[in-house]
């Protein structure tokens, strides 16, 4: 088979298309023929050496969708999807013609989604689910403010929150595009063009002076002051990223007096089997049409995989997918 490989860290130019032996499923394993694999910003960071656990040489790529061609008999021919914090980091990833995963990680792809659409779901929706549902325990009739609502994770949080019966306020530089998954489920929007106090005041205005029960900050760092200013008493702040600076100042008096909680969420700590369990929970929402992935903006053959990474580096709108 062919695979994108890197044996040292750097930009997309370090990726090389390499011929490798076809994988064979061992005991408790399955081999998936990859039909589509999206390129995430974290894949770009991985190749650049931003993740300390990555071992080299390595095939990158976290998300995938494909067909089982080796492993347990009952899975042969099944259309599956997957993602994992170990995939592309400590085990070879999905930017290849085939990938080997534990059989326990297999999750059936929603029939409603194409392979390309399914490959664009994993990191975004698993990260959103882990933060909003498992960490913050967002509940019906609560309000969540989503910073970065137009992005992949932010849009996924908005859809999950809406499905839970929560009220959704989007925050970002600009409103989500008309027709986008997030645009149809947000109940209000706040532009990130003022001070933290001004942004917090606008969120409070939209919530009758109360503030948001949960703020899901998919940006972090530069937005942390605004996130904290937007919280209601006993509100929960979910942090998944830190842009510009990993260090912020926090008013500890305000933190404990308002009984705020700050919850870190790192999907990279959940392996392909643990993520497969979450994808099984998410699948019915996609099959019903209640959840929609971000649109696929660009498709690349494996031969042009480096160009796919460059497109993500250049911040193309929508998802970038490699089709081996």
At residue 244 the predicted structure's pLDDT band, cuts being 50, 70 and 90, is confident
What percentage of the chain reaches a pLDDT higher than 70?
100
Checking if the pLDDT of 26 tops 90, the result is: yes
The mean of the pLDDT values for the chain is: 97
Checking if the pLDDT of 315 tops 90, the result is: no
27 in the same domain as 162? no
Q: Dump pLDDT digits (tens) for 133-185.
A: 999 999 999 999 999 999 999 999 999 999 999 999 999 999 999 989 999 99
- The whole-number average pLDDT for the span 65-70 is 98
Tell me how many domains the chain contains: 2
Nearest in space to 81 (alpha carbons), one of 267, 287, 301: 287
DSSP state of 187: S
187 in the same domain as 109? no
111 in the same domain as 46? yes
Q: Dump pLDDT digits (tens) for 28-67.
A: 999 999 999 999 999 999 999 999 999 999 999 999 999 9
Residue 314, judged by CB atoms within 10 A of its CB (0-12, 13-18, 19+), counts as exposed
262 in the same domain as 132? yes
141 in the same domain as 111? no
* Residue 8, domain extent: 2-121+293-323
Domain of residue 257, CATH code = 3.90.180.10
At 317 the pLDDT is 83
142 in the same domain as 69? no
113 in the same domain as 14? yes
Q: Dump pLDDT digits (tens) for 267-300.
A: 999 999 999 999 999 999 999 999 999 899 999 9
298: left (phi over 0), alpha (psi -120 to 50) or beta: beta
217 in the same domain as 102? no
At 190 the pLDDT is 98
In a domain, 284, yes or no: no
């Amino acid at each position: 088979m062919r695979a994108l490989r890197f044996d040292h860290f750097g930009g997309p130019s370090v990726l090389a298309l390499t011929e490798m032996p076809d994988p064979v499923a061992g005991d408790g394993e399955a081999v998936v023929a990859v039909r589509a694999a999206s390129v995430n910003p974290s894949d770009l960071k991985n190749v650049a050496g931003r993740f300390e656990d990555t071992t080299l040489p390595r095939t990158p790529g976290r998300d995938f969708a494909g067909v089982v061609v080796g492993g347990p008999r009952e899975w042969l021919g099944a259309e599956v999807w997957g993602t994992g914090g170990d995939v592309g980091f400590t085990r070879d990833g999905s930017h290849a013609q085939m990938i080997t995963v534990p059989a326990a990680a297999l999750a059936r792809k929603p029939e409603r989604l194409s392979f390309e659409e399914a490959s664009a779901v994993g990191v975004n929706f698993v990260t959103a689910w882990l933060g909003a549902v498992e960490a913050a325990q967002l509940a019906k009739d609560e309000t969540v403010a989503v910073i970065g609502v137009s992005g992949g994770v932010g849009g996924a949080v908005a859809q999950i929150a809406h499905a839970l019966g929560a009220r959704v306020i989007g925050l970002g530089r600009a409103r989500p595009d008309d027709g986008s998954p997030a645009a149809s489920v947000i109940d209000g929007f706040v532009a990130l063009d003022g001070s933290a106090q001004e942004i917090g005041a606008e969120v409070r205005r939209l919530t009758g002076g109360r503030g948001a029960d949960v703020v899901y900050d998919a940006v972090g760092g530069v937005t942390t002051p605004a996130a904290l200013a937007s919280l209601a008493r006993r509100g929960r702040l979910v942090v998944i990223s830190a842009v510009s600076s990993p260090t912020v100042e926090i008013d500890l008096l305000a933190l404990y007096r308002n009984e705020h909680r700050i919850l870190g969420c790192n999907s990279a700590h959940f392996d392909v089997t643990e993520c497969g369990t979450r994808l099984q929970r998410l699948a019915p929402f996609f099959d019903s049409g209640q959840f929609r992935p971000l649109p696929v903006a660009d498709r690349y053959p494996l031969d042009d995989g480096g160009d796919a990474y460059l497109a993500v580096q250049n911040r193309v709108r929508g998802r970038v997918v490699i089709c081996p």
